[in-house]
């Protein structure tokens, strides 16, 4: 349940979700995720459990939204926007994924959170790519949704492999490599996804 890009929410709903996300973020500074209960989160946010469940199915859904929000903030700080045509924006997005994964590296006891963090970041990247692809609409060999899905998984997978490889290259270097590999999927630099008319 990662909130979508540009999703319009009632200000009260946005405020409550922000309170819950901030509460979880604060609790994570001093406690392992598995030891944090929904009641702990509700107490920290000064809301009741029923209010928590009005917004999130469980603490894992809240975690995914927190990770997605933090990743969107990182992208906004760096003014990363993808319009479907710019390889440098793609590289900035790849670099943000790499940097975000480095920041989220934690103890082995937190490895259970990896699938939730993965889902959150991929959803944000996929949404940004899809939005850019839909604004720049040349005829393509595949649906924009399929292209965005393939590219977002490729970006995340390559960044995760880079983080797991000790003594690897610098983040800027891996961002260059991943951009070179993913650009053709998105039809940048004359890559194969664009269908020729002929």
Model confidence at 197, in pLDDT bands (50, 70, 90)?
very low
- Do 76 and 127 belong together in one domain? yes
For residue 153, pLDDT over 60 is answered with yes
- Do 15 and 31 belong together in one domain? yes
User: Model's pTM, two decimal places?
Assistant: 0.82
Max Cα-Cα span within the chain: 64
Does a structural domain hold residue 197? no
Q: How much is the pLDDT for 60?
A: 94
Q: What is the pLDDT of residues 60-80, one digit of tens each?
A: 999 999 999 999 999 999 999
Q: Which residue has the higher pLDDT, 139 or 148?
A: 148
For residue 145, pLDDT over 90 is answered with yes
Domain count, the chain: 2
- Do 79 and 52 belong together in one domain? no
DSSP class of residue 127 equals H
If you average pLDDT over every residue of the chain, what do you get?
87
Q: What secondary structure does DSSP assign to 38-49, as a single string? A: HHHHHHHHT--H
Residue 25's domain is classified under what CATH number? 1.10.10.60
Q: Looking at the DSSP assignment, which residues form a beta bridge with residue 140?
A: 194
- Do 140 and 80 belong together in one domain? yes
Q: How much is the pLDDT for 97?
A: 96
- Do 16 and 88 belong together in one domain? no
Whole domain around residue 69: which residue ranges?
A: 62-190
Question: What percent of the chain is predicted at pLDDT more than 90?
Answer: 64
For residue 48, pLDDT over 90 is answered with yes
CA atoms within 13 Å, Cβ hemisphere of 144: 16
Residue 106's domain is classified under what CATH number? 1.10.357
Does a structural domain hold residue 174? yes
- Do 51 and 83 belong together in one domain? no
- Cβ contact 185:193 at 8 Å: yes
- Do 186 and 134 belong together in one domain? yes
- Do 98 and 52 belong together in one domain? no
- Do 110 and 156 belong together in one domain? yes
- Do 162 and 73 belong together in one domain? yes
The residue among 38, 35, 62 whose CA lies nearest residue 48 is: 38
Does a structural domain hold residue 1? no
- Do 92 and 35 belong together in one domain? no
Residue range 91-95: mean pLDDT, rounded: 96
């Amino acid at each position: 349940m990662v909130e979508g890009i540009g999703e319009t929410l009632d200000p009260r709903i946005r405020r409550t979700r922000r309170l819950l996300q901030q509460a979880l973020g604060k609790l994570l500074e001093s406690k392992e995720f598995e030891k944090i209960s929904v009641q702990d989160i509700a107490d920290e946010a000064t809301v009741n459990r029923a209010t928590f469940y009005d917004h999130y199915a469980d603490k894992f859904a809240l975690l995914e939204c927190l990770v997605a929000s933090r990743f969107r903030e990182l992208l906004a700080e760096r003014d990363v926007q993808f319009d479907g045509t710019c390889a440098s924006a793609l590289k900035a997005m790849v670099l943000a994924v790499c940097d975000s994964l480095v920041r989220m590296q934690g103890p082995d006891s937190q490895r259970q959170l990896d699938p939730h963090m993965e889902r959150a970041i991929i959803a944000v990247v996929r949404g940004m790519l899809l939005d850019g692809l839909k604004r720049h609409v040349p005829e393509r060999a595949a649906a924009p949704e399929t292209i965005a899905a393939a590219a977002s998984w490729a970006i995340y997978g390559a960044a995760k492999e880079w983080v797991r490889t000790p003594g690897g290259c610098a983040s800027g270097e891996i961002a260059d490599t991943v951009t070179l590999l993913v650009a053709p999927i998105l039809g940048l630099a004359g890559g194969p996804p664009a269908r020729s008319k002929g």
